[in-house]
Amino acid sequence: MRHMISTTALVALLTLSLHAEGLSGTWTVGTGADARTFVFKVQGDRLTGVVCGPCDDPAAVFRIEDGRALDADRVSFAIGYDVGGPLFKKYGPYRDQMTATLSGNQLTLRAQREGASEPPVTTVLKRVVDDYVGVNVSAGAARSSATRIESKSSPIEGRWIAAGRVSQQNFILKVRDNKVWELICGPCNPDGVFIIDDGMVDGNNVTFYINHLDTPPSARKTGVSRNIMRGTLTGNVMKFKWVREGAENQPGGEMVLIGPIR
């Protein structure tokens, strides 16, 4: 009997993972200055990500946290409005609790402010890459945590600019308890936004990963790939060397970031 219950639970978990993986990737709502971009990364029956708009403004970039699958077509998560957001001036830091229902290339969000009595607000997102089938990152390989982090920010938090680029690349970094996350964008429209995760600051040494999911659109979609960025901070300059995760013995590249720009 124990074996049967265990097997049933495992099948249920795998079903959630296989369905929820269709959420992975980039979604958007609105146009122009009112556009918002959501990037989700599914890890087993959990999810992480970012939401931004405009995506090159640190005060408009927020973490998706405490995400999990509810059933075959629904997930829940929270958005932590720690430095801004539509109600930040009124309430200070707050969170929206979200329930998302997936249907093809549309994602319906039901949002309600944590601890509030106001009625929920419904928003419909559209997938940026229509034919993307999603990818599930192995829960065993996942290193990032969905734990809510409350400690003070780091002086390297903010917007950094990649030097020597023809098109400007913006690195929006947030740091709590020496952990680094958020995004890179450039151009900062929906198909040019990528998650930064699994980062650490150790003295003057900075390491993080840049995730490539469904964007930029390509006929060759092989699932998630990540670049490992390892750098050293000197004043307002960070010098990085990067390689592709899983191909560390192959040539990579170098990058210099200037910032943070206040």
pLDDT digits (tens, 9 = 90+) for 180-233: 999 999 989 999 999 999 999 999 999 999 999 888 777 666 667 899 999 999
Q: How confident is the model at residue 142 (pLDDT cuts 50, 70, 90)?
A: very low
pLDDT at position 219 is 66
Domain ranges of the chain: 21-127, 158-261
- State what percent of residues in the chain have pLDDT above 70: 82
Tens of pLDDT, residue by residue over 76-133, are: 999 999 888 888 998 899 999 999 999 988 999 999 999 988 899 999 999 998 877 6
> What mean pLDDT is predicted for residues 157-162?
96
For position 141, what pLDDT does the model report?
A: 38
pLDDT of amino acid 135: 52
Predicted TM-score (pTM) of the model is: 0.85
Mean pLDDT for all residues in the chain: 84
Residue 8 above 90 pLDDT?
A: no
Structure tokens at 156: 């390297």
Q: Which of 160, 161, 215, 189 is nearest to 41 (CA)?
A: 215
**C-alpha span between 89 and 85 (Å, rounded):** 8
Check residue 12 and give its pLDDT. Answer: 44
Closest C-alpha among 147, 156, 157, 201 to residue 179: 201
Same topology, domains 21-127 and 158-261? Answer is: yes
Residue 73: predicted pLDDT: 84
Residue 44 has what pLDDT?
A: 73
Q: With pLDDT > 90 as the criterion, what percentage of the chain qualifies?
A: 58
Residue 153 to residues 84, 136, 181, 232, Cα–Cα distance (Å): 14, 31, 12, 19
Domain 158-261 CATH superfamily: Quinohemoprotein amine dehydrogenase alpha subunit, domain 2 (2.40.128.120)
What is the CATH code for 21-127? 2.40.128.20
154 CB-near residues (< 8 Å, 6+ apart): 175, 176, 178, 201
